[in-house]
Structure 1
Amino acid sequence: MIFKVITLFFVFMAVLAMFGRLRFPKLPDSVTRRLGRTCPDCGRPQIGKGPCPCRERRA
C-alpha cells in the first residue's frame, strides 16, 4: 500500500514538473542578467546602484 502511495506521488511530481517547463520554459537573458549582477573585478553580487566596496578601497 505504501509503495503505491509513493509511486503515485512521484508520478504526480513528474507531471507537475512537465507542466512547469511548458509554462515557464526559460528566462530571457535580460532577466537573468538583472537578477545575477556581479562586480566584474571581485565577483561579489551587486546590491543597489552604488559602486562595489572593492572599488572604493582602491581609490
Structure 2
Amino acid sequence: MLIKAAILFVLVMVGLAFFGRLRLPGRKAPPLLRKNCPRCGRPRIGAGPCPCGKG
C-alpha cells in the first residue's frame, strides 16, 4: 500500500512538472540573476558583483 502511494505521488509530481513546462516554456532568469560572470565565467551567488571585480 505504501509503495502504491509513493508511485502515485511521483506520477502526480511528474504530471505537474509537465504541465508547468507547457504553460511557461523558455522562461529565463532575469539578467541580475545570471549564474556565471560574463567575463571570468565564475559562478555567481546572489545579485551582488562578481568577486573578480570585472562583472
| Structure having greater relative contact order (Cα 8 Å, sep ≥ 6) | 2
Determine the structure 1 residue equivalent to 2:17. 17
Q: Return 5+ residue gaps in structure 1 as ranges.
A: none
Moved over 4 A (4+): 52-55
- Computed over aligned residues only, the root mean square deviation of the Cα atoms, in angstroms, reads 2.9
Taking structure 1 as the reference length, what is the TM-score of the superposition? 0.54
**CA 1:39–1:47: 2 relative to 1, 3 Å:** farther
Determine the structure 2 residue equivalent to 1:7. 7
1:9-51 Cα shifts (integer Å, max 9, x gaps):
11111111111101221124xxx460216251x4454626xxx
Percent identity, please: 42
